């Protein structure tokens, strides 16, 4: 099937997935479901259409609202229009092809009566897009392609950088590698990449930033455990834990295992890795197996100390807590559609409960590294300051890498927050 002929079924499948995301389902769940059922549309095409559409929060919604002459359409037809607008703006297809294939997709979705409506909306967009851009610029959600509450928080928190942060959230993420220091040096692996025609540059530590993304299986030595894919921001964790051979280390929210693996690659430590999700723990085990690394993996909620802790204190604890994921929205664009401002206090309450529980398992003089992939102070600085203020013997330490606690997303890394807290003896 050629690319043009495949667009209608790809739009059909993408519209179904986007409609479910708009109704509250995660995109990862949708891809897992389709993988079990069998994908008719190539995964790469679906990734492009779904991610590209969902990154355009507000923009595609406004365009459909402005051009719809008969009120809000059926949810599936609306999602089809969103996906079709992304396809038009992507420049990958001729305009007439997108319109024709979107109309065909109506039939594949069994929305035959919507064919004329879809044709009319898309043709109106092509005629009126100049005027539409003026209306888009007048709407924060359409212009910046994020929810208004999200924009408001970033604007007040980062008055100089907020527009750059929002632009980064709409971009394609970088692909960064973590070279396994136990197997090969960064210069040696960079030379292997160059020999394979893969351009990359070092970012410090074990990180190499690829000029262009590619499937991990194409990386030299990937199957042999010489390299992993991990964002440079995430690679701060092992560096900031101040690891020493022989320590007892806990990774309390460990799956899928990137930070756990980096810990084991960095020092000879005894690692306990916890996660409440059995499927994610299985993925963690597979990742460690590929790297020939070993850890004690437990499927358990880390706050239920009685279910997993033997009473012996840990020298280092990594608390990479569940969060809004606002710093990695470009990798998970459905987050912008799924999150609500009211979710943030619930995340903060869960994060505080995790900190309170794990603090009990930290040995005297031990260090706990609190990590989120969030940009919101309620989950980060405000939460850590409140924890230190209410917790006896808790002392905030400078981060060993000398970098700021909050990293904003940019061309080289995603958005992460780090805080190192020591339990004074």
Say if 182 falls within a structural domain. Answer: no
Q: How far apart are CA 116 and CA 96, in angstroms?
A: 15
Same domain, yes or no: 127 and 237: no
Task: Choose one of 106, 125, 145: the last residue of a domain.
Answer: 145
pLDDT score for 1 = 42
Residue 415, domain member (yes or no): yes
Strands 416-423 and 394-397: antiparallel
What is the token pair recorded at 293? Answer: 């690394």
Q: Residues 258, 391: one domain?
A: yes
CB-CB contact of 219 with 230 (8 Å): no
Q: Residue 125's domain spans which residues?
A: 3-145
Same domain, 14 and 112: yes
In a domain, 349, yes or no: yes
Residue 261 counted as domain residue:
yes
Number of structural domains, the chain?
A: 2
Dihedral sign, Cα of residue 181, residue 280, residue 212, residue 328: negative
139 & 241 share domain: no
- Whether 202 maps to a domain, the answer reads no
Residues 250 and 130 in one domain: no
131 lies in the same domain as 274 = no
Q: In whole angstroms, how far apart are CA 286 and each of 256, 279, 293?
A: 9, 11, 10
- CATH number, domain containing residue 265: 3.40.50.150
In a domain, 373, yes or no: yes
Q: Which two tokens stand for residue 39?
A: 């994908």
Largest CA distance in the chain: 73
Residues 141 and 239 in one domain: no
| Catalytic annotation, residues | 373
Shared domain check, 407 and 298: yes
Distance, CA of 425 to chain centre: 37
Final residue belonging to a domain, choices 145, 162, 191: 145
| Structure tokens, 67 | 């051009």
Contact indicator for 240, 266 with CB cutoff of 8 Å:
no
CATH code at position 18: 1.10.940.10
Shared domain check, 124 and 261: no
Tokens 């632009």 locate to: 167
- Put simply, whether the predicted model's pTM sits higher than 0.85 gets the answer yes
Q: Is residue 188 part of a domain?
A: no
Q: Which residues are within 8 A (CB) of 145 and not within 5 positions of it... i.e. 6 or more apart?
A: 55, 56, 57, 58, 59, 166, 169, 170, 336
Is 159 a member of any domain?
no
pLDDT averaged over 10-residue windows placed end to end, the chain, 425 residues: 74 96 93 77 91 96 90 90 97 95 96 95 96 95 98 98 97 97 96 97 97 95 97 98 97 96 98 96 96 97 97 98 98 96 98 98 98 98 98 97 97 98 96
Q: Of 145, 178, 194, which marks where a domain is finished? A: 145
Strands 314-320 and 200-204: unpaired
The neighbour count for residue 332, using CB atoms within 10 Å, is 18
């Amino acid at each position: 099937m050629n690319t043009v002929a495949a667009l209608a079924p790809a739009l059909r499948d993408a519209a179904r997935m986007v409609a479910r995301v708009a109704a509250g389902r995660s995109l990862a769940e949708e891809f897992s479901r389709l993988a079990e059922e069998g994908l008719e549309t190539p995964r790469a095409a679906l990734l492009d259409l779904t991610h590209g559409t969902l990154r355009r929060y507000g923009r595609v919604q406004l365009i459909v609202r402005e051009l719809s002459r008969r009120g809000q359409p059926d949810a599936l037809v609306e999602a089809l229009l969103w996906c079709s607008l992304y396809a038009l703006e992507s420049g990958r297809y001729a305009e007439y092809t997108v319109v024709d294939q979107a109309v065909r997709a109506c039939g594949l979705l069994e929305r035959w009566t919507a064919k004329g409506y879809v044709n009319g909306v898309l043709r109106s967009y092509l005629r009126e897009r100049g005027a539409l851009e003026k209306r888009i610029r007048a709407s924060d959600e359409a212009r910046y392609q994020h929810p208004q509450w999200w924009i408001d928080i970033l604007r007040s928190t980062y008055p100089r950088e907020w527009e750059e942060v929002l632009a980064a959230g709409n971009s394609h993420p970088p692909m960064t590698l973590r070279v396994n220091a136990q197997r090969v040096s960064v210069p040696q692996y960079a030379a292997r990449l160059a020999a394979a025609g893969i351009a990359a540059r070092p970012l410090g530590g074990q990180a190499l930033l690829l000029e262009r993304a590619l499937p991990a299986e194409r990386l030299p030595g990937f199957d042999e455990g010489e390299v992993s894919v991990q964002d440079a921001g995430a690679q701060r964790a092992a560096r900031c834990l101040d690891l020493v051979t022989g320590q007892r280390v806990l990774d309390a929210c460990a799956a899928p295992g990137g930070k756990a693996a980096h810990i084991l690659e960095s020092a000879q430590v005894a690692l306990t890795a916890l996660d409440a999700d059995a499927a994610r723990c299985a993925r963690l085990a597979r990742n460690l197996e590929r790297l020939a690394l070993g850890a004690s993996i437990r499927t358990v909620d880390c706050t239920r100390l009685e279910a997993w802790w033997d009473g012996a204190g840990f020298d280092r604890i990594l608390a990479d807590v569940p969060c809004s994921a606002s710093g990695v929205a470009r990798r998970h664009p459905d987050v912008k559609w799924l999150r609500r401002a009211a979710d943030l206090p619930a995340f903060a309450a869960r994060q505080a409960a995790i900190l309170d529980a794990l603090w009990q398992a930290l040995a005297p003089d031990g260090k706990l590294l609190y990590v989120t992939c969030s940009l919101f102070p309620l989950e980060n600085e405000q939460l850590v300051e409140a924890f230190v203020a209410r917790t006896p013997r808790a002392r905030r330490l400078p981060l060993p890498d000398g970098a700021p606690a909050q990293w904003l997303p940019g061309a080289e890394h995603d958005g992460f927050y780090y805080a190192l807290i020591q339990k004074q003896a």
